[in-house]
Amino acid sequence: MNKILLASVATLSLMAPITAVSAQELTVYSGRGEALVGSIITQFERDTGVTVNVRYGGTSELATLLLEEGDQTPADLFWAQDGGALGALAPVFAELPAEINEGVAAPFRNPANKWAPTSGRSRVLVYSTERVSDDEFPASVFDLTDEQYRGRVAWAPTNGSFQAFVTAFRVVEGDEAAKAWLEGMIANDAQVYPNNNSQIVAVADGEVDFGLINNYYLANHLRNNANLPVSQTHFEAGDIGNMLNVAGAGVVAASDNQELALQFIEYLLSVPAQQYITTQGNEYPVIPGVIENPTLEPYAKLLEISPAVDIDEISDLEGTLALLREVGLI
């Protein structure tokens, strides 16, 4: 009954866009910041006549909120900053129709169809252009435990993107190897920072020479200060240090507005929305046909050097946290 009502109102609003009051409302919990995604949402509202109510917040705060609310949640859609949150929220997401993920490039796709990726990001090695010579680049993230990198590498063990990387590390190389690497890094005096940005600042400031971060932070710093003596690169092809991750969205199973939520996800997967995220957010698109961001590694090369990891398998954050606790990092 509700749906028929909604559908008829939708038709009405198409027929008489000036007089129709927009009766369609979508409630979104967004872990993505308004500064980036606000314009996409406004554009969606303009194009469709749907009113979108957005609750912005940290991905982790909103994810715990969604779990706390359970069936009583007002949210129709959850937009998460990272893949780990999507994995953790999978039990409260409705299954998506398979067509949604069909156009998505394979490495980003969620085989269980519980969520759709909205952008891709890659782990990179950020380095000082002043203090790192050409022969010093590590071929693999494993090399960073070598003596020549003692005290020179920054990492952020409490940061979500780093923890997702460790999870992928465990999936691909095994728990023992992951533990050995973490202990090797600690023994090699890796420097602890709270997040990605502070690592870039630390490299610029001369505190460290390398940092392990996500790909989309540096462009922002360089836009504001083109002389910043910092650059970023990948490890050799297939190295786990180049791991791919996603930001993505899922439809809340308790929502009675799922069709509209689906429509929103379809919109996020359209070329204009993907183009915007690529250009403004310095992230990778998840569909083909988008003009590349010149500050990033080319898309084709990215797909070629990325290790094969099923993003759904990196939802075992519990195991990663246990490991990080065991080695005393958190």
Contacts to other proteins by CB under 8 A: 27, 31-36, 38, 53-58, 60-65, 67-69, 72, 74, 81, 84-85, 88-89, 158, 160, 163, 192-198, 201-202, 204-207, 216-217, 220, 224-225, 228-229, 281, 317-318, 320-322, 325, 328, 330
| 238/279 with CB nearer other proteins | 279
* CB 74 to other proteins: min, Å: 7
- Exposed, middle or buried, 182 (CB in 10 Å: 0-12/13-18/19+)? buried
| Amino acid letter for position 145 | T
Does 217 carry a binding-site annotation? yes
DSSP state of 149: G
Please state the three-class secondary structure of 45-104 as a single string.
Answer: HHHHCCEEEEEECCHHHHHHHHHHHHHHCCCCEEEECCHHHHHHHHHHECCCCHHHHHCC
CA 215 to CA 283: how far, in whole Å?
A: 7
* CB 16 to other proteins: min, Å: 26
By DSSP bridging, strand 244-251 and strand 116-128 are: antiparallel
| 32/109 with CB nearer other proteins | 32
CA 249 to CA 233: how far, in whole Å?
A: 28
Cα distance between the two ends of the chain: 51
Does 127 carry a binding-site annotation? no
* CB 223 to other proteins: min, Å: 9
* CB 290 to other proteins: min, Å: 19
* CB 237 to other proteins: min, Å: 27
| 2/72 with CB nearer other proteins | 72
Q: CB–CB of 298/86 below 8 Å?
A: no
| 41/305 with CB nearer other proteins | 41
| 101/274 with CB nearer other proteins | 274
* CB 307 to other proteins: min, Å: 22
| 36/296 with CB nearer other proteins | 36
Nearest C-alpha neighbor of 210 from the set 126, 124, 122: 126
Query: What is the number of other CB atoms lying within 10 angstroms of the CB of residue 312?
Result: 17
* CB 325 to other proteins: min, Å: 7
> Coil, strand or helix: which one is 213?
strand
CA 274 to CA 259: how far, in whole Å?
A: 21
| 200/305 with CB nearer other proteins | 200
Which residues have a Cβ under 8 Å from the Cβ of 198 and sit 6 or more positions away? 156
* CB 146 to other proteins: min, Å: 24
Query: What is the number of other CB atoms lying within 10 angstroms of the CB of residue 94?
Result: 16
| 301/325 with CB nearer other proteins | 325
Q: CB–CB of 83/311 below 8 Å?
A: yes
| Amino acid letter for position 329 | L
Which residues define the annotated binding site? 216-217
Which residues define the annotated binding site for Fe cation? 216-217
